[in-house]
Structure 1
Amino acid sequence: MSHRTKFKMQRALGLELPGLGKPGALDTRSYPPGQHGQSKNKKLSEFGSQLREKQKLLFHYGLREEQLRRFVRDARTLQQSNWIESLVGLLERRLDNVVFRLGFARSIASARQLVNHGHVMVNGRILTIGSAVLRLGDFIKLTAYASDMKATIESRQSPRLTLPSYLQFATDGATDHGVLRMLPNSQHVPFEFDPRPVAEYYAKQGV
């Protein structure tokens, strides 16, 4: 996905999504793309609001609709009463997202590439599935080769986001080691997000 496409997506939503990488999407054009983009925004319908919040998840985490639906079904299995919190927890615990949130990569797409190419280890073993959901206590690190890559060094020196409270660096002091210390929830989503419309959308869809 090109930077231009990423910027258009964020302008359409009216906010920056850190998972897409390079910041500045709203610096020069904070209004939506298109010939009517600069006109006063109309109030979104209930359905429009539901789609908007769902799109934030799709774009930020780099998911397809069917992938998100699968996570919704898994979240419902884990917790019927408040499954939306379980959903966010599952998305935040995806390996590609954790690699990004640890500051090893500048975007979730870049983090996914690191994982796919065998540059990330979980509990001492290489794991190449970006969608794998981590568990409490899992230990995440880059391989020695990846630790010396220019891209990962620059990312660690200037991470896209601050470290979330559900992660911590290992006690050995090495910045390329991290531990999942608690289960994340909607408070850990790194952008303005209202989980209620998403829950309403999938409830109506019967997912």
Structure 2
Amino acid sequence: MSKRHSAKYKIDRRLGENIWGRPKSPVNKREYGPGQHGQRRKSKLSDFGQQLRAKQKLKGHYGDISEKQFYKIYQEASRMRGDTSEQLIGLLESRLDAIVYRAKFVPTIFAARQFVNHGHVNVNGKRVNIGSYRCKAGDVIEVREKSKQLAIVLESADLAERDIPDFLDVDTSKAVAKFVRVPALGDVPYAVQMEPNLVIEFYSR
């Protein structure tokens, strides 16, 4: 499990974007960064700066994945056939914590990782407690029976701030989701524009 050393909303403020589209994001009120130097005028980013920012934004969206883990995902994507940036998104969206989040079993990606780590989720009938577990097309992800009445699960299902993408087939009443297919970039409902091509350029330097 990757450790998050700072408040998750500082990621929003540091990047100046509401990367999860949440109404509680402080970016909605304060578009400048955190800390005493947050209100300084921002200079135009270099090519390297734009690439680094794109990487930070993508990492942050998936729960601030550690650099080591994120680089391993990039390396795997680069070895696969086809467009590397599309493969990168496909690998990120195949993570169990990402699917639990997209299925709206919990309200945030951080809650999804904790929810999986605490053993509340089954994959194809077997308990899996590793957030980075790689799901395959056709896998059935289900909240365990004794966990379906948890307040976090019941409240998350009614959240209107995001929709369930069509690469998941979700039965909200039963808290069951089928991973229909590995999505492409255009299938993923990001709240802000993601630029995985710049992430690839960053690591390819």
TM range (shorter): 0.7 to 0.9
Larger mean CA deviation between 156-165 and 179-188 belongs to 156-165
In the TM superposition, what is the alpha-carbon distance from 1:78 to its structure 2 partner?
1.8
Larger mean CA deviation between 96-105 and 195-204 belongs to 195-204
Distance in 1, matches of 2:119 and 2:161, equals: 22
Q: Give the SS at the match of 1:18.
A: coil
Distance in 2, matches of 1:189 and 1:196, equals: 17
In the TM superposition, what is the alpha-carbon distance from 1:36 to its structure 2 partner?
4.9
Deviations 1:153-195 (A, max 9, x none): 111122652101211114xx73411111121122215131112
Distance in 1, matches of 2:96 and 2:90, equals: 12
What residue ranges of structure 1 are gaps of 5+ in the alignment? Answer: none
Percent identical: 36
In the TM superposition, what is the alpha-carbon distance from 1:23 to its structure 2 partner?
3.1
Give the aligned partner of residue 19 of structure 2.
Answer: 17
Matched, 1:74 2:73: no
What residue ranges of structure 2 are gaps of 5+ in the alignment? Answer: none
Q: Give the SS at the match of 1:202.
A: helix
Give the aligned partner of residue 173 of structure 2.
Answer: 174
Query: Closer, same or farther in 2 for the Cα pair 1:175/1:163, shift >3 Å?
Result: farther
Give the aligned partner of residue 87 of structure 1.
Answer: 88
RMSD: 2.1
Structure 1 runs of 4+ aligned residues shifted over 6 Å read: none
Q: Give the SS at the match of 1:121.
A: strand
Give the aligned partner of residue 183 of structure 1.
Answer: 182
Q: Within 5 Å, which residues of 2 pair with 1:28-177?
A: 28-62=29-63, 63-79=65-81, 81-158=82-159, 160-170=161-171, 174-177=173-176
TM-score (norm 2): 0.88
Distance in 2, matches of 1:163 and 1:175, equals: 15
Does the Cα contact within 8 Å between 2:165 and 2:189 map onto a contact in 1? no
In the TM superposition, what is the alpha-carbon distance from 1:127 to its structure 2 partner?
1.1
